[in-house]
Chain A
Amino acid sequence: MYVDPFVIRSLNRSELRKRILFYLDSIYPSPAYLSEIARAIGSDPANVKGALVGLGNRYSEDSSLVNLGLVEVIEKDGFKHYALTNYGRNVVKLLKSYHPYYSLFRPEG
């Protein structure tokens, strides 16, 4: 599957987005609540929300995990759950494969 390398590079530079993706991958195909993700990765729910769907000026909506198609929002009984998409799963696999490469080269983009 083709994934724009610049999307993977950008994710690789963002520790928070990467940690969210890896956590959702570890529980795939199950979804998780925002607070559950925050607790699991040891971060603040507001930051996690920003990474997932964007928040104000600090977290761009364009590069949010949901907007990139990596995570989907599932609404059930008035609650929002977040789950990795199939595309997101492939991206996580690539991120892991490219980890040694990105550590060596830190490519631009």
Chain B
Amino acid sequence: MGSVERLVRILDENVSAWVEFSFMYLMLFGFKHGIFKLAGTYTKREELERLLPKTNGTILNRALDAYAELGVMEERNGVIRISHPPTAPELPWDKLDVLFSDWVPILEGMYRMADYAFLSERHPRMILDFDKGADFWDMKLSQGINTLYRDIIVRITKLRDGMTVLDLGCGSVSPVEIGRHVGPNGMYVGVDFSVGLLSIAKERVKERGMDWVELKNMDVRNVIPSRKYDVVIMSFILEYFRDQEGMLRKGLKFLNDGGKLVVVDPFREEYEHIAAWEFFEGFTPEFAAFPSRKTVRTVAEEEGLNYKEFGKNIALLY
């Protein structure tokens, strides 16, 4: 499929496009629900909630916070107003051919969920909970963009038969897509707190007879480092923790001598409009914030480890 550098560039372009489309969807959300129209009349935050019909205050406040972070709105003396035009969403016009198509319906699905959440966060169509919406999450995790970053993980950690891997927050797809590279003589241990996602993963692992794959249902915060691994994977997991440094240090405790920890998450410094994506991801109850590159690099430096970046979303600590 190409060199690691090329794959990393494709991943970066796709994540950038995802962020920019999220920004466009968030703008549509504001137009559709009349938020901008009212904000243009110098309204107070609490008045907005009263004036907008069918409004969930929590979601409205989250949207207002996101608009403020994106430079679309500002709040002065309690009054909300539209601020100077923000930087417009940018699409990679010269690289449209590297964009995957399968993340579009996922983002559309999340946009529709934002509408339902605006009515009620408990609306039955809100399926971003890892257990109640494990089928939706599985489709999210099965997208080409996810398969791409798993491929990059396999290449940069040089995964092969006989190696041992600990995947923190493994979800339903990685146990097969990453686990297959270390079998039959190695070991892949996947940990996830979602019983739903693990039930899907277990079915697939069983179907393929991958008996070197072990799946554990627990919160990654509670995993005890009883053994060490050649590779520890933390892909799209740091975003669910407030103490991201602490989680990284915890991950490092599982590494054997010469082991590698790989982090995959959009580094927030790299994406000007990341707040838009965070607005949509925020419908997952556990979501905290996307990590910064600085956090990951600082931990590596403080722990005396080598640190290598692969584009805007991947870092290797070894």
Q: Which listed residue, B127, B143, B199, touches A5 by the CB 8 Å rule?
A: B127
Contact B199 A100 (CB under 8 A): yes
Among the stretches B16-24, B147-155, B200-208, B234-242, the one at the interface with A is B200-208
**Which A residues from 54 to 109 make CB contacts under 8 A with B?**
94, 96-102, 104-105, 107-109
CA separation between A99 and B195, bound complex, in Å? 13
In the assembled complex, which residues on chain A have CB atoms less than 8 Å from the CB atom of B124?
Answer: 108-109
The secondary structure that dominates the B interface is helix
Name A3's closest neighbour in chain B (CB-CB): B139
Whether B135 is near chain A, meaning CB under 8 Å from some CB there, is: yes
Name A100's closest neighbour in chain B (CB-CB): B199
In the assembled complex, which residues on chain B have CB atoms less than 8 Å from the CB atom of A99?
Answer: 203
In the assembled complex, which residues on chain A have CB atoms less than 8 Å from the CB atom of B212?
Answer: none
In the assembled complex, which residues on chain A have CB atoms less than 8 Å from the CB atom of B196?
Answer: 101, 104-105
Contact B132 A108 (CB under 8 A): yes
Q: How far is the CB of A12 from chain B (nearest CB, A)?
A: 9
Contact B131 A5 (CB under 8 A): no
In the assembled complex, which residues on chain A have CB atoms less than 8 Å from the CB atom of B132?
Answer: 105, 107-108
Whether B105 is near chain A, meaning CB under 8 Å from some CB there, is: yes
In the assembled complex, which residues on chain B have CB atoms less than 8 Å from the CB atom of A98?
Answer: 134-135, 138, 200
Q: Which listed residue, B106, B134, B139, touches A101 by the CB 8 Å rule?
A: B134
Q: How far is the CB of A22 from chain B (nearest CB, A)?
A: 16
Interface string of B113-153 (1 = CB under 8 A from A): 00000000000110100011111101100010000000000
Whether A8 is near chain B, meaning CB under 8 Å from some CB there, is: yes
In the assembled complex, which residues on chain A have CB atoms less than 8 Å from the CB atom of B131?
Answer: 105
CA separation between A72 and B306, bound complex, in Å? 56
Contact B195 A104 (CB under 8 A): yes
- Interface size band for B: 20 to 34
Whether B102 is near chain A, meaning CB under 8 Å from some CB there, is: yes
Contact A97 B200 (CB under 8 A): yes
CA separation between A91 and B111, bound complex, in Å? 23
Contact A109 B125 (CB under 8 A): yes
Contact A5 B135 (CB under 8 A): yes
The secondary structure that dominates the A interface is helix
Q: How far is the CB of B175 from chain A (nearest CB, A)?
A: 13
CA separation between A87 and B282, bound complex, in Å? 31
Interface string of B94-108 (1 = CB under 8 A from A): 000000001001100
Contact A1 B102 (CB under 8 A): yes
Q: Which of B105, B139, B202 has the most CB of A within 10 A?
A: B139
CA separation between A8 and B124, bound complex, in Å? 15
In the assembled complex, which residues on chain A have CB atoms less than 8 Å from the CB atom of B133?
Answer: 5, 107
In the assembled complex, which residues on chain B have CB atoms less than 8 Å from the CB atom of A101?
Answer: 134-135, 196, 199-200, 203
Q: Which listed residue, A5, A100, A108, A109, touches B203 by the CB 8 Å rule?
A: A100
**Which B residues from 184 to 228 make CB contacts under 8 A with A?**
195-196, 199-200, 202-204
Name A96's closest neighbour in chain B (CB-CB): B203
Q: How far is the CB of A68 from chain B (nearest CB, A)?
A: 15
In the assembled complex, which residues on chain A have CB atoms less than 8 Å from the CB atom of B202?
Answer: 100
Mind listing 8 A-B residue pairs with CB under 8 Å? A1-B102, A2-B139, A97-B138, A98-B135, A101-B203, A102-B135, A105-B195, A107-B135
Report which B residues bind A (CB closer than 8 A). 102, 105-106, 109, 124-125, 127, 131-136, 138-139, 143, 195-196, 199-200, 202-204
Report which A residues bind B (CB closer than 8 A). 1-6, 8-9, 94, 96-102, 104-105, 107-109
20 new A-B contacts, CB < 8 A, other than A94-B135, A98-B200, are: A1-B102, A2-B109, A3-B139, A5-B127, A6-B125, A96-B203, A97-B203, A97-B204, A98-B134, A100-B203, A101-B135, A101-B200, A101-B203, A102-B135, A104-B195, A105-B134, A105-B196, A107-B132, A107-B133, A108-B124
